[in-house]
Amino acid sequence: MNKMKVLVSDNISPKGVKILEKAGLDVDVKTGMTPKELKKEIGKYDGLVIRSATKVTSEILGAAKKLKVIGRAGSGLDNVDKGEATKRGIVVMNTPGGNTVTTAEHTIALIVAMARQVPQATASMKQGKWEKKKFMGVELFGKTLGIVGLGNIGSHVAKVAQGMGMDILAYDPFLSEEKARSLGVEVVSLDKLFKKSDVITLHIPLTDDTRNLIDTKNIAKMKKGVRIINASRGGVVDEQALYMALKSGKVASAALDVFETEPPSDSPLMELDNFICTPHLGASTADAQENVAVAVANQLADYLVRGIVRNAVNVPSVSADALPVLEPYINLAERLGSFLAQGLDGGIDKIIIEYKGEVAGLDLEPVTVAALKGILTPILEETVNFINAPSIAKERGIEVKETTTDDAGDYHSMLVIKIMSGRKEYSVSGILHGKKEPRIIEVNDFVVEVVPEGELLVIANNDKPGVIGNIGMMLAKHRINIARMHFGRQKQGGRAISVVSVDTAVSRDILSKIRKLPNVLSLKQIRLPN
């Protein structure tokens, strides 16, 4: 019997290669291949191990006729076409958590180096100077550290900073008050964090909502002399706005490990003495690289040799026999969860998942996991998968409850997801149309019929003449095509909801203009897979 073959196309620790070989797999290490070379080679392999350099595009996947699994030694999966892999039945795995301590420690290193001007003083001394007065630093003891995103990395940064005597403010819409208290941090609004913090560090994914989060408008809310660190994702900081704020002295100093374009070309930030930087070193320690190499090798071996799925971002752990029945509900649950989470204003205290009708008699664990993944992914992105979603919810102090009933009203089956956030309740209900196609039939007590896919604008409005026309004209003015429109209202002349499906994403500027239209009360842009 021929051995299954694994291609390692990026540099990983030799320990990972040895684990794959010990499991009985035939391993080839071929790093630095061009896309053309990879396309030519990939058809021979059952498994692929990558880091960030290899780009697994739809074209590469089209040539991967035998490929069963892709394993990323690390968490980020921006370089993998996950949708195309899923369509082709290829499992995509990552190793979330392997870089947590390393990235947190690098953040602390940047904070301290920035406060004491270590890089600048080093450069000065290497030029033969002794400029003791020039490099006057600041103490971190007693200062307020604002942490945007209190996931695994942000939480570890908080612990270390507390050990240095810093006070911690945190913004994280998915963190419960109980979990915040256990960490000894104060959860505040983003505006309050900007206003009160002496030092601000970012630990968030790059999404439509977080892109250019640190921009001219938000920098204006900060203290004069604030210090800013970003070791999360390039694009979260508007680099031109940061440059101007560093030049003016509004921002005393900044430290970036990540950039919009890597490597950054001709960045004016490099001209500034109060700016320090590192070339995306957050995960670059021998310890972390060994951890993720060992983890991904074990995961690939488990899947290819024993059929065990761990840390898959696109496939839940379901038996082959059960998958055909459960897959449509798994898809529905993940979409409902993502839709609901992207419309939230606040943290999550409790999640209730109600199964009604025929679905209540199935094995519901993978469906519940899919709902949790859908809820948590919009803020945590690639750190959430079908394996760790329940433990992440537990770590964040979120209570999860399931209920079942045989009664689904006029439908064969129905899923209802509710989120309790403080005193507010958010809910969404969904069904399967024709046993496979997901549909949203109710949003926060508004009866609708929404196809949950693509770019959606969810608008709360007063039920008055002209609202829909104004929205349509605003989108038409900016050449944004409407694919579908869905409406719901509780009573004539009362509050209503409009869900507009558009062909392309809507910019912040246009969203702001829509929010200012007459009788528009609120607007959320929601993105779901096609």
Which is catalytic among the residues 262, 271, 358, 425?
Answer: 262
Q: Answer whether CATH 3.40.50.720 is correct for domain 1-97+284-315.
A: yes
Distance CA 425, CA 348 (A): 10
Distance CA 18, CA 105 (A): 29
Domains 1-97+284-315 and 100-277 share a fold: yes
Which is catalytic among the residues 88, 116, 280, 433?
Answer: 280
Question: Minimal CA–CA distance to 437: which of 331, 354, 343?
Answer: 331
Is the Cα dihedral 400, 420, 336, 389 positive or negative? negative
- Supply the DSSP string of 238-257, one letter for each residue: -HHHHHHHHHHTSEEEEEES
Distance CA 296, CA 191 (A): 39
Residue 33 tokens, joined? 């291949």
Phi and psi, residue 169, nearest 5°:
-110, 145
- CATH superfamily name and code, 453-530: ACT domain (3.30.70.260)
Kind plus residue range of the DSSP H or E element containing 208: none
Which is catalytic among the residues 51, 233, 335, 396?
Answer: 233
> Domain locations in the chain?
1-97+284-315, 100-277, 317-444, 453-530
Report if pTM > 0.85.
Answer: no
CATH of segment(s) 317-444: 3.30.1330.90
Q: Is 233 a catalytic residue?
A: yes
Q: Is 262 a catalytic residue?
A: yes
Q: Is 84 a catalytic residue?
A: no
Say which CATH topology domain 100-277 has. Rossmann fold (3.40.50)
Please give the chain's pLDDT, 530 residues, in tens: 578 999 999 999 999 999 999 999 999 999 999 999 999 999 999 999 998 889 999 999 999 999 999 999 987 787 899 888 877 878 899 987 778 899 999 999 999 999 999 999 999 999 999 999 999 999 999 999 999 998 889 999 999 999 999 999 999 877 777 778 888 899 899 999 999 999 999 998 887 778 899 999 999 999 999 999 999 989 999 999 999 999 999 999 999 999 988 888 889 999 999 999 999 988 888 888 899 999 999 999 988 988 777 788 877 766 656 777 888 999 999 999 999 999 887 778 899 999 999 999 988 888 999 999 999 887 675 567 777 788 788 878 888 999 999 988 888 899 999 998 878 899 999 999 887 899 999 999 899 999 999 999 999 999 999 998 999 999 999 999 999 998 888 888 889 999 999 999 898 899 999 999 999 999 999 999 87
Question: Minimal CA–CA distance to 466: which of 512, 515, 518, 522?
Answer: 518
Pairing of strands 226-230, 199-202: parallel
The shares of helix, strand and coil residues in the chain, as percent rounded to the nearest 5, are: 35, 25, 40
Contact predicate 496/444, CB 8 Å: no
